Amino acid sequence: MKVERQALTEKVSVLKSEGFDYLVKITAVDYVSHVDAIYIMRNMDKNVDEVLEVEMDPSDLWLPTIIKHHASADWYERELSEMFGIEIKGRHARRLLLEKWDGKGSPMRKNFVWGEPYPKS
Amino acid sequence: MSITRVNIGPIHPSTHGVLRLVVDLEGDTIENIEPHIGFLHRGVEKLVETRMYMQCPPYMEKIDYVAPMSVDELYVAAVEKAMGVEVSEKAQYVRVVLLELQRIASHLFWVGSICNDLGQLFTTFMWGFRDRDMVLHLLEIATGQRMFYVNMRLGGLSRDLPEGFGEKTLELMDYLEKRLKEYENLIEKNPIFVDRMKGIGRLSRGDAKEFGVTGHVMRASGLDYDVRSERPYYVYRKLNFRKQYHLSGDNLARYEVRIMEIKESIRLVREALAGMPEGSAAGMPIKLITPNAKNRIVMESRENPRGEEMIYLVADPQKPYRLSIRSPTFINLAALNHMARGSRLADLFSIMGTLDLVLADVDR
């Protein structure tokens, strides 16, 4: 299901009240022309998944936080902002989650420039 | 009272890998835990974007090095779905047998290491590892390797089960069943073990859902969701798989769920071996594969020993365009702060031990 990012928080809240109260995963895909954020929610009683897709322009990457509705979104959102350079609005900026480097760029974007391999001695 | 900040790790015997925890204490009570992960981050998801489909399984196996076959199988199943490849019935049975053996090995490893964490040094640890090694020996007979098998092929496996494998497996299952009774006597009747597990690290049913935990952590809190029964793959429906769960949500409940799961796996292995059809389980040799992914977006879930592992795959014809892995330990670790807050510092490692972390799976 395609969702506008302005309506995302409300959509997640409505879905939660309909029983989709288990967040399986938040991820993103860089299609070069646009970046899609993917939210996978689950209704455990009915055993169905709902996939929300939020399309973003690569020059304007931001998402509203859904941490109010799902505590489990915390680490997923941090991973997303680190790997894709997506700014998550409405929550505190936190230190990097996975990367222990100070390199530039967002590793999971397609325009990421790979570093030089270690020289052979 | 003032807050004392304690740093644990990144190298620490009880973290079972490289994990750093910054713990805020008030006296002896945990106020807040800040896990620092990423020391084992290899960028697998990025790496596989540069590889052909069947070059990826070795990378997938290193994601969960305690149960490598389960992640390998998940990846191959996702690629099969993208390419529209059917798995023969014989291969389905063989995969279930091997996956359940892998689950038993992984759980036995955990039983040994949790007792090690709680101070039952060596006896239980050695017992767990000895019995796990016997299961690994069976897997070696079936695949040629003790660990990192890379035996999954599109539509089947690298080779059929060798002759006599069934009898050897049944023998080991009988043996393990006897051993489990001894485990119960040694572990569950030990007052120190029970005192350090009962009522510690409680996670309510609502919080389990809110924090998105999965696997035995979720089922110990009363959320009876198991992918093998809710969305049965392969022959689990035919084998009448029964999900195991508990209601109390504490450390002991997580331990009991896992012991019940070992028993259920033993039953599944026996039943699958009895119902094994004739035919070949061999899949396509790697050299003969002409990749042709038809379905562009594929989602595949598996109940791995540590919980529900999911792959979100955007498929190009030749190689993965984007492969996103939902790792169970990542999200279980994220709930650690909530579970351990208010407990004593000494209980932190028993709580963390019951989560069964594999840091390579957390960091990917």
Closest CA to B291 of B86, B45, B54: B54
Across B265-274, average pLDDT: 92
Coil, helix or strand at residue B266: helix
Q: Is A98 on the interface with B (CB under 8 A)?
A: yes
CA distance B178 to B295: 47
pLDDT band at residue A102 using 50, 70 and 90 as cut-offs? low
- Chain B nearest-CA distance from A121, in A, is 23
- pLDDT band at residue B281 using 50, 70 and 90 as cut-offs: confident
- Residue of chain A whose alpha carbon sits nearest to that of B37: A98
Nearest to B118 by CA among B40, B13, B217: B13
Q: What six digits make up the tokens of B305?
A: 């020993």
Asked if the model's pLDDT at residue B266 lies above 80, the reply is yes
Q: Which H or E element spans position A35?
A: strand A35-43
Q: pTM (2 decimals)? A: 0.91
Report d(CA B155, CA B174) in Å as an integer: 31
pLDDT (0 to 100) of residue B93: 93
Q: Is B206 on the interface with A (CB under 8 A)?
A: no
DSSP annotation of B317 reads S
Q: How many residues does chain B have?
A: 364
How open is the CA angle B159-B165-B167, to the nearest 5 degrees? 160
- Chain A residues whose beta carbon lies within 8 Å of the beta carbon of residue B338: 71
Residue B170 has pLDDT above 80, yes or no: yes
- Per-residue pLDDT, A120: 64
Residue B133 reports pLDDT greater than 90: yes
pLDDT of residue A34: 92
Give A25's contacts in chain B (Cβ within 8 Å).
310, 312, 324, 326
Q: Give CA–CA dist B199/B219, Å, rounded.
A: 16
Domain spanning A5-89 has what CATH number?
A: 3.30.460.80
Helix axes B165-183, B251-274, angle to 10 degrees: 160
pLDDT at A29: 94
Contact B37 A97 (CB under 8 A): yes
Q: Measured between CA atoms, how close is B182 to chain A, in angstroms?
A: 37
CA separation for the pair A53, A70 (Å, rounded) = 17
Tens of pLDDT, residues A75-86: 999 888 888 888
CB nearest to B225's CB, from A44, A49, A70: A44
Q: Quote the pLDDT of residue B199.
A: 87
pLDDT score at B96: 93
Predicted local distance difference test score (pLDDT) of residue B9? 77
pLDDT at B214 over 80: yes
Q: Give pLDDT, residue B291.
A: 64
Coil/strand/helix, residue B342:
coil
pLDDT value of residue B86: 86
pLDDT digits (tens, 9 = 90+) for A53-64: 999 999 889 999
List the one residue out of B78, B93, B354, B47 whose CA is nearest residue B215: B354
d(CA B339, CA B349): 12
C-beta atoms of B338 and A71 within 8 A: yes
Q: What residues have CB less than 8 Å from B129, skipping those under 6 apart? A: B108, B109, B112
At B253 the pLDDT is: 92
| Contact by Cβ (8 Å): B347, B340 | yes
Q: What is the mean pLDDT of chain B?
A: 89
Residue B212, phi-psi category: left (phi > 0), alpha (psi -120 to 50), beta (remainder): left
Minimum distance, in Å, between the CA of residue A15 and any CA atom of chain B: 14
Q: What is the pLDDT of residues B63-119, one digit of tens each?
A: 988 999 999 999 999 998 888 888 988 999 999 999 999 999 999 999 988 888 887
DSSP string, B190-216: -HHHHHHHTTSS---HHHHHHTT--TH
Instruction: Check: CB of residue B361 under 8 Å from CB of residue B328.
Output: yes
What CA–CA distance (Å, rounded) separates B74 from B62? Answer: 13
**pLDDT attached to residue B185:** 87
Q: Can you list the domains of chain B with their CATH numbers?
A: 3-363 (1.10.645.10)
A48 in B contact zone (CB under 8 Å): no
pLDDT digits (tens, 9 = 90+) for A2-47: 888 889 999 999 999 999 989 999 999 999 999 999 999 999 989 9
Residue B200 has pLDDT above 80, yes or no: yes
Q: Are B21 and B302 in contact (CB under 8 A)?
A: no
Of B46, B299, B334, which has the smallest distance from its Cβ to A72's Cβ? B334
For A25, which of B37, B43, B312 is closest by C-beta distance?
A: B312
**Using a CB-CB distance cutoff of 8 angstroms, which residues of chain A are in contact with residue B43?**
107
Instruction: Examine the pLDDT at A93 and tell me if it is beyond 80.
Output: no
Average pLDDT over residues B58-64: 91
Element (H, E) at B105: helix B89-117
Question: Comparing C-alpha atoms, which of B94, B95, B101 is closest to residue B139?
Answer: B101
ipTM, 2 decimals? 0.87
Give the residue extent of every domain in chain A: 5-89
